[in-house]
Structures are given as structure tokens and as C-alpha cells.
Chain A
Amino acid sequence: MTRQMTGAEMVIQALIDQGVDTIFGYPGGAVLPIFDELFQQEEVRHILVRHEQGAGHAAEGYARSTGKVGVALATSGPGATNMVTALTDALLDSIPMVCITGQVPTTLIGTDAFQEADTVGITRPCTKHNWLVRRIEDLPAILHEAFRIATTGRPGPVLVDIPKNIQFQTGTYENCKGKALTQYHPAVKGPEAAIREAVELMAAAKKPILYTGGGVINSGPKAVALLRDLVKLTGFPITSTLMGLGAYPASGRNWLGMLGMHGTYEANLAMHDCDVMVCIGARFDDRITGRIDAFSPKSKKIHIDIDPSSINKNVVVDLPIVGDVGSVLEDLIAAWTARKPMQDKAAHAAWWKQIDGWRAKRCLTYRPSAEAIMPQYAIERLYALTKDRDTYITTEVGQHQMWVAQYYGFEEPNRFMTSGGLGTMGYGLPAAIGTQLAHPGALVIDVAGDASIQMNIQELSTAVQHNAPVKAFILNNQYMGMVRQWQQLLHGNRLSHSYVDSQPDFVRLAEAYGAVGIRCSKPADLDDAIEEMIRIDRPVLFDCHVVSLANCFPMIPSGKAHNEMLLGTDVTDEEIETAIGAAGKVLV
């Protein structure tokens, strides 16, 4: 079935044929024909944001909470350059996203025309692939290929840049969904021999660990179910990266908590001392490994990843298995079940005993306070009061993000949207809006810091306009807390520009936007205030005043190994300050 239509119509038709119901965008000169088509149809809902970066992160939130592709639309020049952060964020976190940008007419390209930027040039290193469409004949196939590339293999952002004259031109549209335009066909199935070898290694393990990541969630619900089966089948302890939280339930018996720089004591010590490590859909990022030459020195490492370039990139592994997590786990479980391995029960019992010893450290313990709200306490209460609801959590970037990872227990995948790889402050609020629009009845909370929230605060207006009752739960300590923590630890407590002066009154700010503001500064009032926030069916800014100098522990300082963690209970804030203050004197 082919039809004649304009380029702008083709864009909308391709979105419809791809099953897209919601896109996030901002109009401008070079995309007006597409916006005109949007106006004249009802199948695709357009969410008007207040800044193109917000459109990108909203599309990411939509994608991560649904498993579908997120779609963003922006104009040429500044519209496209504002999108760069969101595209890079999606690239580093492997989020399927299609971004459509307008471009000046082909005849003006290269003339420094009004709102002209070399969009494909600028976004080449921050997309999985991109195109400048130079002929109307190419447009339908490119639009559909963009979706195929964004979703197959390791997912990522794809950008299609469409000059304005191409949007006006008429051509033949064909629904080429699923047809391949390029030769891109990543392998899905893992090699059988390697999977059999993995079973042997795992069967013989005395101190095994599963180290999982966002690849499990990206692979889909089947991979998540298979991962849970694998844990049951093997009895292995399991830890996860920030990106993988929720793939295995936090209430699960074998759960060790998150690993890495701010991971739990038990997860990191188990990583360090294990004899067989099965890395599933994670990539040995520097926040995970700590000191590379001291990373899990005694283990045989199995690495399952769909991206061959992730193998041996940071850590040399013993057994790489390139393939989709879902497919590989299916084969792995089948091979394990067929082999019926006899595991060394005594060794496993000893391993769990050792892990229980580490757990007994209770590394997430903090000093409670009756007068002021501890940030950890705020997250604990937020968790307690929202866990039995249909809740989605997004975060900004910083201490609050790590406290969420530590104190909020995720039971299901696709419930936690956070900027992991790029660490983008300003991600959480637009991502929450994208998530809320995908899940209208759900409770969507952006846990934020007072600094991060101000990076994309304008999107509160988007939330109000589109009746997205997101809650921004701000842990307000008046600092860029994580920056300050590093300055305390590494720069002699010289708090260079990490104090946020002239803060807005968040309650009145919320009211100015037509949202609701709540302020709480007493632990005794916190539960009631959170309950009130949940009850309000409108966007809320919750200004939660927490103690200003709390730091995020446990922590692996830079250049240290997993077994050289700092624990929060070892030190008080005052001790940190004075200890580093003294040390700072010798740091020239």
C-alpha cells in the first residue's frame, strides 16, 4: 500500500504506523509543516515542553517506563542543539529514542542561514545513528529504519534531520516498518559453546555472584523473568548497577543491594571475593569497578552483553557471550537444567555465611535525628508510604539519587528512571512527566535535589498544562551535595561554589506555576506531608528541608578497591570535616 503525501504527512504517518501515541516537542520555523500536520490529526498526541532538553528527557522517561521508543521533535539550530544533552544521555544509558529535527531548506544548507546548525554533524557522536534527509524518496524508509535501529541490538537514540523543503515536497509513502534499510543486524543469540562453558564455570563455583545491569531491563520482561528464574535455580547472590535496579526484587532473599561507588558493603565485598562473576547486561563502568587492577582479583568472569565493544573494554573477562540477555539466559537456563549440576552445597553455605557477616555491618545505618530530617530518613519514609502503590520514581543526579538507590526498594523493572551514564542534572522532572503521561493513573515522583531541580524547573509548566500530576520531592540541603562531598573528601573542605545561595521559595514557585507547594522540615511532620503530597492530584513541589551536611555513604573513594570502602557509621560529619581539613593542609 503506497500513498502520495507530503514529507510532513509522512512523518506523522510513520509515527502512527510505528504505534507511537505520544511525542514530546517544541515548534519552530523549520518544523512548522510537521506541527501543522500534528494539528490536523488526533492519533498522535504532542506534549509541548518548555525547553527541548525537557522534550528529550521526557521521551526518555516515557521509553524507560514503557519499554517503547520515546519520540522527540524539535526545530533546527537551537532546537537541535538543546536536544544534545538528552541524546547523549540516551546514548550512555542505551535508551531507545527517535528524535526528529527540522532543518533549513536544502538550498540554504551551508550558507549560515537563520537557525541553521550542522545537526547531523553535532549529533553524530551522541546518537546511535543519524540521517540528514536530502530527498523525499528516502524519507519513508529512513523514518522506519530509525525506529528499527533505535530498538534493535543495544538500544539508543537515532536522529532524523529533515529540511523544510522536504517536509513540503510530495512523494510516495510506503509503510516499511520492519524492513531493513541498512545492513545493521546485531546478533541476538549467544554462541552455544560459550553458554555450555558458562554452565560449567557456574556449576563449579564456590563463591559465585550475579552482577546485573540495565541490559536486563532493556532486553524486556522475558529477560527479567529469566533472571529471577536463574537466581532461584542457582541460589547465587545477586547485585546490580544503578541502571539495573528492579530487575531482581529488592525484597528477594538473594539481593545484596546495589554495588559500586555508593553500593552496599556486602555487594562490593562479595564482588571482590567471589570466584565466579556472571556479569549480565552491565558494562564494568568506572563507578562500578573502582580501582581496575584490584577489581575482583580472584574471579573467573563471564560477561553477557549484546554489544561486542563492551567486552574487554574496561575489564578483561574470561568468557564473553555476545547476545541478547533474554536469549542467552533462556539458553543458559536450558543448558543448566539439562546438565543438572551438583553444586558444592558446603561451599555455598560458607559463602552465604561470609555474606551474612558483611550484611551484619548494616552499612546503610545512619544517625537518626529527632529535630531535623535526615535525607536517608526522608527516602525511607517516602518508600514506606509509596511502596504499596503503583509508583514510578525518577531522580536528578547527586546525593539524593544515590540515597534513592540505597533506601528505596525497587521490586519491578521499568519503575526507576535515572540518568546513570551521563549523570545529567535536570533529568528527573521531565523524565517524570514522560513517565506520568505513559502511566496516567500512577504515582510518579521525581526525587530531586535543590540544585538539580532548578536545571529544568521550567517543565513544571509542562506538567501543569498537560495535567501530569508529578511530584518533585526535593531533598533540600542548600548545597550541591555530591559536589560538596567530593570537595570535603578531596579538596580540603574548600567548598568552592557548591553552596546554593539565593534559593527560590519552592512553595511560592510551585504556586506561581499553578502547581502545589508543600514544605516540611520536621521529622514528626514528614509522614503527614508525604501523605498529603500523594493525595493531591496535581503537580507538587515538595520542599523537604533536610540536614545540610549529611554525606552519602558507604563510598569507595577514587583509586580504591571494593574492599576499601568508607562506611558512614565510622565517622560523623564533623569528623569528616576536621579529618579532611587537616589532610587538606598537606594537599598542595
Chain B
Amino acid sequence: MMIVAGQSQSAYFLEEELPSTERSHTLSVLVDNEPGVLARVVGLFSGRGYNIESLTVSEIEHASHMSRITIVTTGRPPVISQIMHQLGRLVPVHKVVNLTWAGDALERELALIKVCGKGEIRDEALRLAQAFNARIVDATLDSYVFEITGAPADIDRFVGLMKDCGLVELARTGLAALSRGRNGITSAPAVAG
């Protein structure tokens, strides 16, 4: 009747990780722009073991001190619901909307990409930049800085190509995202918040 070999050695029930049906979700979070609000959000993700793939935050209404945080996270559907409800529990959070659930959201990111090289490589970099609608924002005799705006996957592809064209460094802004159609975040159905 007692403990046999192979049983849990823990006071807790240690569950095996289930095979994941994880996918990435884009969450839009409307918050009071007050000291520590970003720390609350980030601390919630690290404290409860959730992933952050991308996080963007900026004030959107100066008068009412409102910021919009766009978070890309991954997880199985129940985990995503839990993340949204946990965010909704934070006092400065006004609203949490899952843009991925809401449908095909607009997602854009900006990247600055520095390449260095001469001759054929430099020409190839310029041709690819034109093909991807990247702008030249800085140029020297042996370098360019391109600015590109687009869906993260497009930027990934461009960056991948630049690796063979003398990529020195890059900076990405993280995601800005909005739902399509006439409704804004304040009129969207709240899942939490």
C-alpha cells in the first residue's frame, strides 16, 4: 500500500509537459501610463513562466496618461486565456484584447539594418533593399543603413538576405498591431480587464 519505486518524489504532483499545440498570439493591453506599470506586466510574465516574444510599449493618449502595450506571446489556448485574465487582474490594466482571436490583425514592425561592404555585395544589398521597399537612411562609401517597415516575417526574410550582404547590426522596434475594421480597442469585446 505504500510508496513504490518510480512514484513522484515530490510533495507536488509533477505533471509531464503535454505535447504542445502552442501558437503565437498578439495581445493589446491598454494601461495607465504610471511608474512601474511595465514592470508589473513583465514581472507577471516572468513570475508565472509565460513567454514574451515581443513587447512594445508607448504612450498613446498624453492627456489621459494611457499607454498601449503590444505583447506577442506563445502558449496553448488555456494558457493564453490565463495570461489574459492575469493581465486583467492588474490594477492599472484597463483592457486586454487578443488580436489573434479577433481575426487577421494588422501587424507592423520597423527595423534599422546596417550593412557594410564594397563592390558586388554593396550593389546586391541595394537591389534587395529596393525589392523589399527598404529606404536608405544613412550611406557612406562602404556602408548603408536601411529602414524597413513590414510584417515581422517580411523583416525576417530581409534580414536573412542581408546576412550575406555584410550585415553589421540591426535594431527592431517590436510589434505595433491593430485590428482591422472600424472597431477600436475600447469598443472591442473584452476578454479580460
Contacts and interface: CB of A to CB of B under 8 A. Distances in A.
A286 B43 contact: no
B13 A291 contact: yes
A566 interface: yes
A311 B9 contact: no
Interface in A554-579: 557-559, 566, 570-571, 576, 579
B153 interface: no
Contacts of B1: 566, 570-571, 579
Contact of B43 (A125, A308, A570): A125
B162 to A, nearest CB: 39
Given A290-B13, A292-B13, A559-B7, A309 B2 contact: no
B165 to A, nearest CB: 44
A149 B82 CA distance: 22
A489 B192 CA distance: 43
Interface string B46-89: 01000000000000000000000000000000100110011011
Contact of A576 (B2, B14, B36): B2
Nearest to B9: A490
Contacts of B78: 312, 316
Interface residues of B, number: 34
Given A124-B36, A566-B1, A558 B192 contact: no
Contacts of B13: 286, 290-292, 558-559
B3 interface: yes
B40 interface: yes
Contact of A583 (B4, B36, B81): B4
B88 A309 contact: yes
Contacts of A576: 2
Contact of B15 (A121, A292, A312): A292
B27 to A, nearest CB: 15
Contacts of A193: none
Contacts of B82: 309, 312-313
Interface in B73-132: 78, 81-82, 85-86, 88-92, 94
B187 interface: no
A182 B32 contact: yes
B14 to A, nearest CB: 7
A62 to B, nearest CB: 24
A120 interface: yes
Contacts of A566: 1
A134 B36 CA distance: 13
Contacts of B89: 307-309
B47 A125 contact: yes
Contact of B36 (A120, A128, A286, A486): A120
Contact of A559 (B8, B35, B44): B8
Contacts of B140: none
Interface in A176-229: 182-184
Contacts of B81: 312
Contact of B91 (A125, A132, A149, A586): A149
Contacts of B141: none
A120 B113 CA distance: 38
B93 to A, nearest CB: 9
Which of A120, A149, A557 has the most chain B CB within a 10 Å cutoff? A557
A580 interface: yes
Nearest to B14: A559
Nearest to B90: A129
B85 A308 contact: yes
Contacts of A491: 9
B183 interface: no
Contacts of B92: 182
Contact of A490 (B3, B15, B35, B40): B3
Interface in A235-277: none
A566 B13 CA distance: 16
A127 B44 CA distance: 12
A128 B5 CA distance: 42
B171 interface: no
A295 to B, nearest CB: 10
B88 A308 contact: yes
A587 interface: yes
A129 to B, nearest CB: 4
B64 to A, nearest CB: 11
**Quick one: which of A291, A309, A312, A490 has the most chain B CB within 10 A?**
A309
B86 A309 contact: yes
Contacts of A570: 1
Interface string A97-112: 0000000000000000
A366 to B, nearest CB: 17
Given A124-B39, A182-B32, A583 B5 contact: yes
A486 B14 CA distance: 16
Contacts of A586: 4-5
Contact of A587 (B5, B36, B39): B5
Contacts of A312: 78, 81-82
A324 to B, nearest CB: 16
Given A149-B91, A182-B92, A559-B8, 4 more contacts: A132-B35, A184-B91, A312-B82, A558-B13
Interface of B: 1-5, 7-15, 32, 35-36, 39-40, 43-44, 47, 78, 81-82, 85-86, 88-92, 94, 192
28 contacts: A120-B36, A121-B36, A124-B43, A129-B91, A149-B91, A182-B32, A182-B91, A183-B32, A183-B94, A286-B12, A286-B13, A290-B13, A309-B82, A309-B86, A309-B88, A312-B78, A312-B82, A491-B9, A558-B11, A558-B12, A558-B13, A570-B1, A571-B1, A579-B1, A580-B2, A583-B3, A583-B5, A587-B3
